[in-house]
Amino acid sequence: MPHFIVEYTDNIKGEANLGKLFEEIHKVLITQNNVFPIGGIRSRAIELNEYRVADGTEDDAFVHAVLKIGAGRPEETKKEVCSTIFEIMKEHFSSLMENRYLALSMELVEFSEAGTYKHNNIHARFINK
């Protein structure tokens, strides 16, 4: 962990450039002084084809991100990381927002290690780096 998951409306698919957004988000997470293990960082996007925004009269769009992390990080760290990520999102989508109706949102989800199952050989690559 962490996992950064983006849901976005298909009417911005050609302009969203989510690969670039993910690159910027990973940079933030990696530079958090070993708060998040590099080998656990994941990003993914879910394109939404069925949705309705507001009253449905415009070609409105939205992007909703979820940052999922394991419990135990200090409140200050969580606030700083989330604020930084949301600022990156606002900057990333700023030109799109200038040209169309667009809603951006993000939430933090913390979960207990109880009930989660993981198996990963990626972490070993970053030990002693």
Kindly report the number of other CB atoms within 10 A of residue 9's CB atom.
Answer: 22
From the list 1, 2, 19, 110, the catalytic residue is: 2
Mean pLDDT across 80-84: 97
pTM exceeds cut of 0.85? yes
Q: Is the pLDDT of residue 107 over 90?
A: yes
Entry field: residues in the chain: 129
* Percentage above 70 pLDDT, the chain: 98
CA distances from 56 to 53, 59, 63, 64, 99 (A): 6, 7, 16, 18, 18
The pLDDT-based confidence of 128 (bands split at 50, 70, 90) is: low
Q: Is the pLDDT of residue 129 over 70?
A: no
| N-terminal to C-terminal alpha carbon distance within the chain | 18
Q: Is the pLDDT of residue 71 over 70?
A: yes
Structure-block tokens of residue 78: 């969580």
- Per the annotation, the verdict on 74 as an active-site residue is no
Q: Is the pLDDT of residue 109 over 90?
A: yes
The pLDDT-based confidence of 84 (bands split at 50, 70, 90) is: very high
Mean pLDDT computed over every residue of the chain: 93
